Amino acid sequence: MIATGYPWHLSLMENWVPVLFVFAFGACVGSLINVLVYRLPQGMPVVLPSSRCPNCETKLTWRENVPILGWLSLGGRCRFCKAKISAEYPIVETIVAVLFAATYVICYLPPSLTAGIDLKFLGVIQPEWALNGFSRTWPAFATLLILLGSLVAMTLVDFRTFTIPLILTWVPVGVALVMHPLNAMLVSPGGLRHSAGTLGDWIIATPGPGGWWWVGACAGAILGLVISNLMLAAGLISRSFADYDAWEQEALVRFRQEHPDADEPGSDTPELWVQYPHARREMVRELAFLAAPVGLGWLGGEILLRLADAAAVPLWLQALTGVAMGYLIGGAIVWGVRILGSLLFGKEAMGLGDVHVLAAIGACLGWPDATLAFFAAVLVGLVSAILGAVRGANASRMLAFGPCLAIGAAVVLYAKPLLEGGIAALLRSPEPIQLP
């Protein structure tokens, strides 16, 4: 449908200028991610020192610091010493910029014919809540962008160091905790009307107006997590894998004696840590840590159910509980698989870092999306393992689950309606399946 009589250049301005802004914002976030990925694993301060040439330490001018364009204007070499500057910097900046801009386009542009470009096909994958427009959903959109940026940064760090700096998972959780209730309280306090005309649905899955049990359960579980962490800090319960470093030292000494000529496995590589013999015993420690959150979660739910079942849960509290449910259920899925897998196989299965990653995805997108992202991540991991085995790559690269989770989350984010169609076909459901 062509908006007749409406000047195309106005349509261009209205629709595509915001895309350009989001693209530029993405490039800046990409630039920040470069700094984080470089400095976080080394424990360097993120904010203070300005960017320098890693070779001769010449400070970059503000022009050279402009994302993407700065690198291009320098031709990929330091102005002073002509040392090569890695192309990874502009590539990461471009990827994040394109991700951000694409997310904006998918969320807010599809229904209209914008400046002669028909984007109707994107309507297939447009999230339903985004139909309410940018002005009513911008906090949720901002949460998406922060999650995407954090996932890119986590993936890059995980690829290099096999660890995930936890701060990268806490930032999106903090943003989700503020933004989703803000959306409910200030931006769209009356709820969001979807295309079908239903009122009261929310951007992420919530327990609904009658969900007092979940409100209490989430509050209790989070209180339990705080208590367990305090007990851990006070030494009342012990940290799992506390003797791992000592065991690793011994294992390396043994390895050198037995294979004097071979390259020794690097510390923290899967070749080494799958041989750690006490994984089952350590799971008991992790279950002890989880006793307080599970027990208090159940107790909190039962108490609140009896106290407050008459009134409806206010929308902001529904949204907040939705964030907490996503965090707890997302984290519980990976942690549950980790404990079961370790007990079954006697080897540490999935890292605690991955628990934090899916918890963060759940906090931002809600628990159904986190669950879907987990299964998508398992598929991605299987496919990459098969491809890796075919190409003869070493096993260590296939075992990093963090990047699989990031890709799984992206699949859910950009293709949820397609996934729902696939699930409906799998289950031979006569009705279209719509996940919350």
Which among 198, 182, 151, 106 has a CA at the least distance from the CA of 362?
151
Identify which of residues 74 and 122 has a Cβ nearer to Zn ion in the complex: 74
Helix, strand, coil share of the chain (percent; to 5): 70, 0, 30
Q: What would the two tokens of residue 235 be?
A: 């030494």
Which among 188, 165, 178 has a CA at the least distance from the CA of 364?
178
Q: What is the smallest separation between the CB atom of 59 and Zn ion, expressed in angstroms?
A: 10
Identify which of residues 55 and 86 has a Cβ nearer to Zn ion in the complex: 55
Q: What is the smallest separation between the CB atom of 61 and Zn ion, expressed in angstroms?
A: 13
Identify which of residues 35 and 232 has a Cβ nearer to Zn ion in the complex: 35
Asked if 81 touches Zn ion (CB under 5 A), the answer is yes
Q: What is the smallest separation between the CB atom of 53 and Zn ion, expressed in angstroms?
A: 3
* Stretch 408-427 residues interacting with Zn ion (CB under 5 A): none
> Is residue 77 classed as helix, strand or coil in its secondary structure?
strand
Helices 8-39 and 88-108, packing angle to 10 deg: 140
Stretch that binds Zn ion, among 75-83, 223-231, 269-277, 334-342 (CB under 5 A): 75-83
Stretch that binds Zn ion, among 71-79, 138-146, 260-268, 306-314 (CB under 5 A): 71-79
Q: What is the smallest separation between the CB atom of 80 and Zn ion, expressed in angstroms?
A: 5
Candidate list 21, 80, 159, 345; residue touching Zn ion; CB under 5 A: 80
* Residue located via tokens 């940064």: 153
Identify which of residues 79 and 278 has a Cβ nearer to Zn ion in the complex: 79
Q: What is the smallest separation between the CB atom of 82 and Zn ion, expressed in angstroms?
A: 7
Asked if 76 touches Zn ion (CB under 5 A), the answer is no
Stretch that binds Zn ion, among 42-50, 74-82, 217-225, 390-398 (CB under 5 A): 74-82
Q: What is the smallest separation between the CB atom of 149 and Zn ion, expressed in angstroms?
A: 28
Stretch that binds Zn ion, among 25-33, 42-50, 56-64, 291-299 (CB under 5 A): 56-64
Stretch that binds Zn ion, among 83-91, 101-109, 274-282, 323-331 (CB under 5 A): 83-91
Q: Cα dihedral angle (390, 392, 395, 397), rounded to 10 degrees?
A: -90
Q: What is the smallest separation between the CB atom of 297 and Zn ion, expressed in angstroms?
A: 55
* Residue located via tokens 């005309």: 197
Which among 70, 58, 62 has a CA at the least distance from the CA of 27?
70
Stretch that binds Zn ion, among 2-10, 47-55, 376-384, 417-425 (CB under 5 A): 47-55
Candidate list 37, 68, 78, 380; residue touching Zn ion; CB under 5 A: 78
Residue 19 and residue 104 in contact, taking contact as beta carbons nearer than 8 Å: yes
Q: What is the smallest separation between the CB atom of 76 and Zn ion, expressed in angstroms?
A: 12
Stretch that binds Zn ion, among 55-63, 119-127, 338-346, 383-391 (CB under 5 A): 55-63
Identify which of residues 74 and 435 has a Cβ nearer to Zn ion in the complex: 74
DSSP 8-state assignment for residue 123 = G
* Residue located via tokens 């014919």: 113
The rounded distance, in Å, linking the Cα atoms of 202 and 206 is 7
Start-to-end CA span in the chain (Å):
30
Please state, in angstroms and as integers, the Cα–Cα distance from residue 352 to each residue in 168, 211, 238, 307, following that order: 14, 30, 15, 36
Q: What is the smallest separation between the CB atom of 74 and Zn ion, expressed in angstroms?
A: 10
Which among 326, 291, 309, 170 has a CA at the least distance from the CA of 220?
291
Q: What is the smallest separation between the CB atom of 68 and Zn ion, expressed in angstroms?
A: 20
* Position 425, amino acid: A
The rounded distance, in Å, linking the Cα atoms of 321 and 326 is 8
Please state, in angstroms and as integers, the Cα–Cα distance from residue 238 to each residue in 27, 229, 232, 242, following that order: 43, 10, 6, 8
Q: What would the two tokens of residue 1 be?
A: 């449908």
Candidate list 3, 10, 46, 56; residue touching Zn ion; CB under 5 A: 56
For Zn ion (CB under 5 A), the number of binding residues is: 8
Q: What would the two tokens of residue 228 be?
A: 């367990």
Candidate list 53, 148, 320, 406; residue touching Zn ion; CB under 5 A: 53
Q: What is the smallest separation between the CB atom of 37 and Zn ion, expressed in angstroms?
A: 20
Asked if 359 touches Zn ion (CB under 5 A), the answer is no
CA 192 to chain centre: 25
Identify which of residues 49 and 133 has a Cβ nearer to Zn ion in the complex: 49
* Position 158, amino acid: D
Identify which of residues 46 and 81 has a Cβ nearer to Zn ion in the complex: 81
Candidate list 50, 55, 86, 195; residue touching Zn ion; CB under 5 A: 55
The rounded distance, in Å, linking the Cα atoms of 184 and 189 is 5
Which residues in this chain contact Zn ion in the complex, by CB under 5 A? Answer: 53, 55-56, 58, 78, 80-81, 83
